[in-house]
Amino acid sequence: MNLRITAAAAGAVALLPLLAACGGGTSSDGTSGEGSSTVTLVTHDSFAVSDEVLAAFEKESGLTVEQVAPGDAGTLVNQLVLTKDAPLGDAVFGVDNTYASRAVDAGVFEEYQPADLDPQVAAYAPDDLAGVLTPVDRGDVCLNLDDGWFEEHDVTPPATLEDLTKPAYRDLTVVTNPATSSPGLAFLLATIGAFGTDGWEGYWAGLRDNGVKVAESWEDAYYVDFSGAGEGGQRPIALSYATSPAFTVSEDGTTSTTSAMLDTCFRQVEYAGVLAGAENPDGAKQLVDFLTSAEFQADVPGQMYMYPADPEVELPADWQQFAPLADEPFEVAPADVAAHRDEWIEQWTATVVG
Amino acid sequence: MDGHGRRLRRPTTPRWGAWLGWGAAVALPLGFLAVFFAWPVVSLVLQGFFAETPTGRELDLSGFAEVLSQDRTWRIVGQTLAQALTGTVLSVLLGLPGAYVLYRCRFPGRTLVRGLVTVPFVLPSVVVGVAFRALFAPGGVLGWAGLEESFAGIVLALVFFNYAVVVRTVGGMWERLDPRAEQAARALGATPWRAFRTVTLPALGPAIASAAAVVFLFCATAFGVVLVLGGLRYGTIETEIWTRTTQFLDLRSAAVLSVLQLVVVGAALLVSSRARARRERALHLTSDRVSAHRLRLRDGADLAPALVTLVVVAGLLVLPMAGLVTRSLRAPDGSWGLDNYVALGTTGGRNALTVTVWEALGNSLRTAAWAALIAVVVGGLVALVVSRRPRRAGLRHAVGALDAAFMLPLGVSAVTVGFGFLITLDRPLGLDVDLRTSGALVPIAQAVVAIPLVVRTMLPVLRAIDPRLREAAATLGAAPGRVLRTVDGPLGTRSLGLAIGFAFAVSLGEFGATSFLARPDTATLPVVIYRLIGRPGAENYGMALAASVVLALLTATVMMVAERLRGDRPGGEF
């Protein structure tokens, strides 16, 4: 008897979510069925916007914005290419300069750029992307240092890429695999930008011989291997972002326990665009306009922790101190990346992993 | 058989009705599998075999020669087989004593331990990967053992995930096994080991083969944990398909690798079904109340399995989980407390998320409930059909093929399924809904993965029903529906609770295919955990671990409730 009551109660509990789902289902159907008043933004899992900023745009434009995030930044472009005959939405945000050319070459986008785009912002899109993709934000992938470790061990912190191959920094560095992680790919490109297509393999052989550790993902490298994350890691030099030190600021906000090596950076630029074959191309264009608007741009630092493309936006106070961008990041033209990326990754794998 | 015994002549009308019923029972699951699994997977693989040429798309099979001639490919295949076989053998060897102790013996706290062992099964692999690496890395608790980036480390993690599959599948059978046969053997002078080997083990054979097949498929297609613990050096077919598809968009190589994966999985299923068929026969099932005895630690026959189970549960399962729980209780400022759990009501440090973790939990419960419902209906039908042994050989083979077909979702890469969804399910079957982005596909994708487990949980019990019971009922005049209701029903529902629990738990933890369909506003718990751990900041890391602990607790609770849902009538009533 007792058991039967338990069973009935459990059954009722199991049914509750079903009922709730029925309720939820009808309301979402209601919004998606109205065609032109809905606009779908395809993006990656790091996209974020304040509720108020989005609501203001929806109110002003009369559009309802739906978001689809089918994965991380690395897989987004491949998903766009595969679905180009039946796009997942109307506009896209989050294609970056390491992958953009592949998508442009595949004809994923409709030509569009906001008419009143600041020339300084437009300049972040190189010629082969101009007119098709609109720069929205940027950020640097850099090696980070656990400053306390160097102080404690009385070792001068490294400053350049070359330093990392010196015996003083043996077994101290962890990076991520360019074949499986997007910061890893960005860092590989930084070394190609720094040492040229002839020199980068030699540099990596030097890193390998100096005991560099390759983790498969950013979280793996940062939380398990990096001593600066405070989780028991053993290596004081780790691949991360220029903005990461702002996450390790002390309670009182005066110091950070980590810092970025600003001479080891690769600049990532993230773009937005209108998808070819969009059901609501006008809505998509308004959405791209919105992503470059002053309101959205001002929202970027706090929401996505990237630098907005718009140079006019005032940045959070602690950024100047803890998370500045590199003055001269390394660069590789997107067209070169598109042409050689796979071959570079394979050469890298042969050199470093074996 | 109440009062119908006098109607000896079989009624004639239900015959075609029965055919119709069975036809529907086959057609519904097959249709489901075809639309939500076969079509997407085949479409994606075919894309790899067709090359774009100026004159249109042409069949191009040159990828086979290219991929199969590389040494790397064969190294990867060897690596996959070695990992999967070792993982499976070890899971079965360690799982058998566990099944005995947890399902054949009674001791205080048994329900709790049963719930606990299921937890690893649904923990997000990204969290498990980081937890294991933290143990293995220099400076970790097991840092001295040299397990980092090692074959042994990967295999241990695979056993961590799959131990529960063996314990539950075999245990579920074992507790229903009539103990009298073994008792008789003992009375006739057999040692406990001999009685086990000659009486119990053969009876458990089908359940063991069933569990081994599932574990092998899980091990052969394990992705996150292999990648995190082993890196590309220990790449398997699965990690290679993932890299080729998501990073290089090299569908040509990915398609060849998918075919290779299918061959490996197909071979494993064949071996398992042979092993099952040889041993399968009707068993005398009983209630666990009759079969279980109090754990006797002074008896060597109980002590040895109890010790093995203790070591496995404490060392392999609890140790990594304890690391997670401990870390989740350390606040971002370094003090101890529930700060990370309090933070689950927020969207994380610097807005790492678009929903709070509790909202994500609600989404997870809703989708998992739908997924479990679908999986139990579809999987239950499959189990029912497959449990029959038709006399005609053709039909028997068809039933076997149906069984194997529904196992495939465990053996095919989640990336292939996920990308397959994206290229096929845009307004499928004339529906005016883009299924890919509607959110409705999430529970369906989870159900596809849960169905094989539902089938494997229910099948051993349904198959063990003596067909003579059904024949007797039919001879006595019961219509097919009545036979189902009165014979299969009472015995089958006992495994139903467990099947629901498994389906619900698997759906809660599913990440692979779900992540391809995620909508930020309806993110599930694993998706949210993945996002949190992908951000810097002690706050986000702490929240990711706290959220994992919540997911683990939820799973353990679901499994414990599912166990209570099982029917409790003794089998002796027939």
- pLDDT one-digit tens code per residue, A135-191: 999 999 999 999 999 999 999 999 999 999 999 999 999 999 998 888 999 999 999
In the structure, what pLDDT confidence band is assigned to residue B97 with cuts at 50, 70 and 90?
very high
Q: Which residue of A has its CA nearest to B226?
A: A216
pLDDT digits (tens, 9 = 90+) for B352-407: 677 888 999 999 999 999 999 999 999 999 998 888 877 788 888 888 888 888 98
The confidence score (pLDDT) of residue B349 equals 66
Partner residue facing B249 (CB), from A69, A81, A241: A81
B108 vs B18, more confident: B108
Assigned CATH class of B19-51+337-568:
mainly alpha
The verdict on a CB contact (< 8 Å) between B437 and A69 is no
> Do the domains B19-51+337-568 and B61-325 sit in the same CATH topology, yes or no?
yes
Complete domains list, chain A, with CATH: 35-138+268-318 (3.40.190.10), 139-267+326-353 (3.40.190.10)
Can you tell me the mean pLDDT for B447-464?
84
Would the pTM count as exceeding 0.90?
A: no
What gap in Å lies between CA B456 and CA B464, rounded to an integer? 13
On whether any CB of chain A is under 8 Å from the CB of B373, the answer is: yes
The verdict on a CB contact (< 8 Å) between A216 and B227 is yes
pLDDT digits (tens, 9 = 90+) for A278-318: 999 999 999 999 999 999 999 998 888 889 999 889 888 88
Residue B215 near residue B207, CB atoms below 8 Å: no
pLDDT digits (tens, 9 = 90+) for B306-364: 999 999 999 888 888 888 888 889 887 778 888 889 888 887 766 667 788 899 999 99
Residue B467: CA count within 13 A, CB half-sphere: 9
User: What residue spans define the domains of chain B?
Assistant: 19-51+337-568, 61-325
Residue B424 near residue B43, CB atoms below 8 Å: yes
pLDDT digits (tens, 9 = 90+) for B496-524: 887 888 889 888 888 777 777 777 777 88
Partner residue facing A223 (CB), from B130, B138, B521: B130
pLDDT digits (tens, 9 = 90+) for A191-216: 999 999 999 999 999 999 999 999 88
A107 vs B12, more confident: A107
The confidence score (pLDDT) of residue B282 equals 63
- Residue whose structure tokens are 């602690």: A318
Distance from CA of A117 to the nearest CA of B (A): 28
Number of helices (H), then strands (E), belonging to chain A: the values are 12, 11
A235 vs B192, more confident: A235
By DSSP bridging, strand A91-96 and strand A266-275 are antiparallel
Buried b (16+ CB within 10 A) or exposed e, A185-223: bbbbbbbbbbbeeeebbebbeebeebebbbbbbbbbbbb
- What ipTM does the predicted assembly reach? 0.76
Residue of A72, A224, A348 best to disrupt the B interface, most CBs of B under 10 A: A224
Q: Which residue of B has its CA nearest to A182?
A: B247
What gap in Å lies between CA B503 and CA B373, rounded to an integer? 8
What gap in Å lies between CA B170 and CA B206, rounded to an integer? 9
Buried b (16+ CB within 10 A) or exposed e, B367-385: bbbbbbbbbbbbbbbbbbb
Within 8 A of A305 by CB-CB distance, chain B residues are: 350
Packing angle between helix B110-122 and helix B489-509, nearest 10 degrees? 50
What gap in Å lies between CA B209 and CA B232, rounded to an integer? 31
Best CATH choice for the domain B61-325 from the list 3.90.1150.10, 3.40.950.10, 1.10.3720.10, 3.40.50.620 = 1.10.3720.10
Can you tell me the mean pLDDT for B253-264?
92
Distance from CA of B139 to the nearest CA of A (A): 7
- Other C-beta atoms lying within 10 Å of the C-beta of residue B51: 14
